[in-house]
Amino acid sequence: MTTPMLEIRNLHVRIEEREILKGVNLSIPKGEVHAIMGRNGSGKSTLSHVLAGKEDYEVTEGQVLLDGADILGMEPSERAVAGLFLAFQYPIEIPGVATMTFLKAALNAQRKGRGEAEISTPDFMRAVKEAGKALNVDSEMLKRALNVGFSGGEKKRAEILQMALLKPRMCILDETDSGLDIDALKLVSEGVNALRSPERAMLVITHYQRLLEHIVPDVVHVFSDGRVVESGGKELALELEQKGYAGFDGEKAA
């Protein structure tokens, strides 16, 4: 048995005295793409934030292993160095920092953390131009402050551009499809699919079966009230779209 890229065991998380995650179990082998679907407020973004190491969450029980290493004690930057990446549902605006500058700093911080040399400016420019072209992010946008005044779709494309440059081993996408027009959805999906590799795993959180036609998942998990209540193949997403979540919530209660 090879070590999974991500293994979540019985994860319980509270925020402000309220338990949001109630025993999440999830294992994603290297090379696989898993999807999570679930009602609004079921805890999907909470899970993604806890994985990325965002503060304010209290882990009361459980373990998270990234390629066998326990990450819950690590700082967010250490998790990034270890290869974890989260594309936020609501990307954060950073006034005063040009997108290009931010991307280079993020890339170099990770290289430094791994004991690698900084990327040269020409190499960086080449990489960012190439990735930007594929995602329809032009040099004008790269000069603007990160996410400030970006449209919803532009923010999502900027997140995927960051992912394409960082080439993380574990990619988590939290509703990256929401707010994207049809052409942007295709570009973003192609960007994500280009990163599929036997050495990488992905977790795609979405409400829509439509995204999963572009990024075809190996496994679909249904999330309800803070845990995974059902897992299956990609046909599970179709079933959800037809039936809604009611049947799955009932099973959880049993």
Ligand X SMILES: Nc1ncnc2c1ncn2[C@@H]1O[C@H](COP(=O)(O)OP(=O)(O)OP(=O)(O)O)[C@@H](O)[C@H]1O
Binding site for Mg ion (CB under 5 A): 44-45, 89
Other residues' Cβ atoms within 10 Å of the Cβ of residue 114: 10
Residue 206 touching ligand X (CB under 6 A): no
Q: How many CB atoms lie within 10 A of CB 76?
A: 15
d(CA 197, CA 252): 34
In SS3 terms, 11-80 reads as EEEEECCEEEEEEEEEEECCCCEEEEEECCCCCHHHHHHHHHCCCCCEEEEEEEEECCEECCCCCHHHHH
If binding is defined by CB under 6 A, does position 46 make contact with ligand X?
yes
* Candidate residues 40, 120, 121, 242; the one interacting with ligand X per rule CB under 6 A: 40
Q: Which of positions 84-123 make contact with ligand X (CB under 6 A)?
A: 89
Position among 16, 17, 140, 235 found at the interface with ligand X (CB under 6 A): 16
Q: Which candidate, 51, 13, 29, places its Cα nearest to that of 227?
A: 13
Asked if residue 15 binds ligand X (CB under 6 A), the reply is yes
With CB under 5 to 8 Å by kind, the binding choice for 250 among ligand X, Mg ion, none is: none
Binding status of residue 244 toward ligand X by CB under 6 A: no
Spatial distance between the Cα atoms of 80 and 107, rounded to a whole number of angstroms = 10
Binding partner selected for residue 15 from Mg ion, ligand X, none, CB under the kind-specific 5 to 8 Å limit: ligand X
| Closest by Cα among 216, 176, 209, 165 to 193 | 216
Helix intervals (H) in the chain: 44-52, 76-81, 99-113, 121-135, 139-143, 152-166, 182-194, 209-214, 235-243, 246-253
**Residue 38 binds ligand X (CB under 6 A):** yes
Task: For ligand X, give the closer residue by CB, 11 or 164.
Answer: 11
**Contacted entry of Mg ion, ligand X, none for residue 38, CB cut-off 5 to 8 Å set by kind:** ligand X
Of 189 and 206, which CB lies nearer to Mg ion in the complex structure?
206
Instruction: Count interface residues toward ligand X (CB under 6 A).
Output: 12
Tell me: does residue 176 bind ligand X (CB under 6 A). no
- Is 45 a binder of ligand X (CB under 6 A)? yes
* Closer CB to Mg ion, 89 or 189, in the complex: 89
- Give me the least distance between CB of 40 and ligand X, in Å please: 3
- In the complex, which residues of this chain contact ligand X (CB under 6 A)? 15-16, 20, 38, 40-46, 89
